[in-house]
C-alpha cells in the first residue's frame, strides 16, 4: 500500500529530500525544549574544556529527530559524523574498522543500538569507557590478542526500544535523552520552515491541517508536505490551501487524526477478530499479515499515545475512543471488560 511509505522508513530518494530539510544547528531545532537545554549545556561545557562530548543515548518513537540531533552534535562540535546501525555491525571486525578510523572528537552514530549483537556490544564496552579495544587477530590456537588505543570519540546511540538495551550498555552513556511527540504548534513551525525552504506558497490554515494529521512527528509532516505539494501542482495552482490539503490527504487515506490504512487495519483486526481484545501482538500480526516489529514500532506508539489502545498483561485492548472514531459499536465482550467503559 502506498500510504505505508508515508509512515514507515523512507526510501533513498525520500531520505535525501528529508535530509535537505534538517536543521544544522541546535538553535535551528524546534521543539524538544528539555532535550535541547540539556544538550546545549553539555555541548558548551565540552567545548569550554576542549573535550569530546559524553556519549549520548537518544530514545523515542521513529521520526522524532534522533538522526538529526546526531548531525547537529557533530556540527556543534565541528566533528565528522559516521553513520551505521546495530544490525549492520555483524562482527567485531566491522566495529573495529570504524573505531580505528575515528579521529579525536568524531561522532559515531549507531541507529537501532538495541539490536547490536551481544558479542559486538561487549566488544564496545572498553572502547566507550577507556577508549581502547582488545582485538583477536585470528581464531584458534594461533590467534593473538592485540590492544588498540583509540582516539577519544563520542558515541550517539539511537533506539526506539530503550527497554531492550542491556543495563551495562545503558550505563556507559553519559547523557540519556528521551524524545517526546511534538505538539501541533511545534509541527506548524516545522512545516512552515520546510515550506519556506522549498519555496512553497502555503496558507497558515493549510499548514495547521497538515500538522494536525502528522501524528506528532516531524518526519511525517515533512513527507505529507511533499505529497500535498505534488497534488497542488497537478490539481491546483501550486499553492497550499485547506481544501487542497484535505483533498490530497483523502487520496492518501490519512484521516483527521493522522491514522492511515495500516492503523485502521490494526484497530479493525483487534475489534472484529478479537472482540476488542485482550489479544496478543503475535496474533494481531498474524491476522494482518504484517511483522510484529512493524506493528510495535510504527503503529502502536501513536495509538497508545492518543488512548485508542492499551497494553494489559493479557494483551492489547481497544479503548472506547477507538470505537467512536471508526464509527463502530463495542462488542459485548468489550463492554464487559472490567473498567474499560467506565
pLDDT in tens, 152-202: 999 999 998 888 888 899 999 999 999 999 999 999 999 999 999 989 898
DSSP 8-state symbol, 289: T
Q: Under a CB-based contact definition with an 8 Å cutoff, are residues 157 and 110 in contact?
A: yes
Q: Under a CB-based contact definition with an 8 Å cutoff, are residues 279 and 314 in contact?
A: no
Residues serving a catalytic function are 66-67, 111, 160, 219
> Which domains are assigned to the chain?
32-178 (3.40.50.300), 184-251 (1.10.8.60), 261-336 (1.10.10.10)
In angstroms, the CA 295 to CA 302 distance is 11
Instruction: Map grid coordinates 590478542 to a residue.
Output: 145
Digit-coded pLDDT (tens) for 4-37: 445 555 556 666 777 788 999 999 999 999 999 9
Average pLDDT rounded to a whole number, residues 301-324: 91
Q: All 3 cell numbers of residue 290?
A: 504484517
Confidence at residue 39, expressed as pLDDT on a 0 to 100 scale: 94
Residues of the chain with pLDDT > 90, as a percent, come to: 47
Asked if pLDDT for residue 142 goes beyond 60, the answer is no
Digit-coded pLDDT (tens) for 321-340: 999 998 888 866 655 555 55
Confidence at residue 5, expressed as pLDDT on a 0 to 100 scale: 44
DSSP 8-state symbol, 270: I
**In which band, very low, low, confident or very high, does the pLDDT at 101 lie, cut at 50, 70 and 90?**
confident
Confidence at residue 1, expressed as pLDDT on a 0 to 100 scale: 35
Confidence at residue 163, expressed as pLDDT on a 0 to 100 scale: 84
Query: Who wins on pLDDT, 98 or 338?
Result: 98
Of 204, 208, 252, 215, which Cα lies nearest the Cα of 230?
Answer: 252
Q: State the pTM of this model.
A: 0.82
Amino acid at each position: 500500500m502506498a500510504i505505508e511509505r508515508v509512515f514507515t522508513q523512507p526510501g533513498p530518494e525520500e531520505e535525501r529530500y528529508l535530509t535537505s530539510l534538517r536543521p544544522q544547528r541546535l538553535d535551528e531545532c524546534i521543539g524538544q525544549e528539555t532535550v535541547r537545554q540539556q544538550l546545549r549545556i553539555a555541548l558548551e561545557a565540552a567545548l569550554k574544556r576542549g573535550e569530546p562530548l559524553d556519549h549520548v543515548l537518544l530514545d523515542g518513537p521513529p521520526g522524532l529527530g534522533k538522526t538529526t540531533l546526531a548531525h547537529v552534535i557533530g556540527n556543534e562540535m565541528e566533528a565528522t559524523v559516521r553513520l551505521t546501525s546495530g544490525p549492520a555491525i555483524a562482527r567485531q571486525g566491522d566495529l573495529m574498522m570504524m573505531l580505528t578510523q575515528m579521529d579525536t572528537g568524531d561522532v559515531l552514530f549507531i541507529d537501532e543500538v538495541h539490536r547490536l549483537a551481544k558479542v559486538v556490544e561487549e566488544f564496545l564496552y572498553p572502547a566507550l569507557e577507556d577508549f581502547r579495544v582488545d582485538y583477536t587477530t585470528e581464531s584458534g590456537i594461533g590467534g593473538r590478542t592485540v590492544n588498540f588505543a583509540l582516539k577519544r570519540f563520542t558515541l550517539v546511540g539511537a533506539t526506539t526500544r530503550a527497554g531492550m538495551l542491556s543495563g551495562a550498555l545503558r550505563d556507559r552513556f553519559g547523557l540519556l535523552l528521551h524524545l517526546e511527540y511534538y505538539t501541533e504548534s511545534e509541527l506548524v513551525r516545522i512545516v512552515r520552515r520546510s515550506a519556506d525552504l522549498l519555496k512553497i506558497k502555503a496558507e497558515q490554515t493549510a499548514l495547521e491541517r497538515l500538522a494536525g494529521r502528522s501524528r506528532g512527528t516531524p518526519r511525517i509532516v515533512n513527507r505529507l508536505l511533499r505529497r500535498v505539494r505534488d497534488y497542488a501542482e497537478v490539481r491546483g495552482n501550486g499553492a497550499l490551501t485547506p481544501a487542497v490539503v484535505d483533498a490530497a490527504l483523502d487520496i492518501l487515506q490519512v484521516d483527521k487524526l493522522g491514522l492511515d490504512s495500516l492503523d485502521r487495519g490494526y484497530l479493525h483486526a483487534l475489534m472484529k477478530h478479537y472482540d476488542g481484545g485482550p489479544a496478543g501482538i503475535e496474533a494481531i500480526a498474524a491476522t494482518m499479515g504484517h511483522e510484529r516489529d512493524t506493528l510495535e514500532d510504527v503503529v502502536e506508539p501513536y495509538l497508545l499515545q492518543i488512548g485508542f489502545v492499551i497494553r494489559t498483561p493479557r494483551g492489547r485492548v481497544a479503548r472506547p475512543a477507538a470505537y467512536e472514531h471508526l464509527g463502530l459499536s463495542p462488542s459485548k465482550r468489550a463492554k464487559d471488560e472490567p473498567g474499560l467503559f467506565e
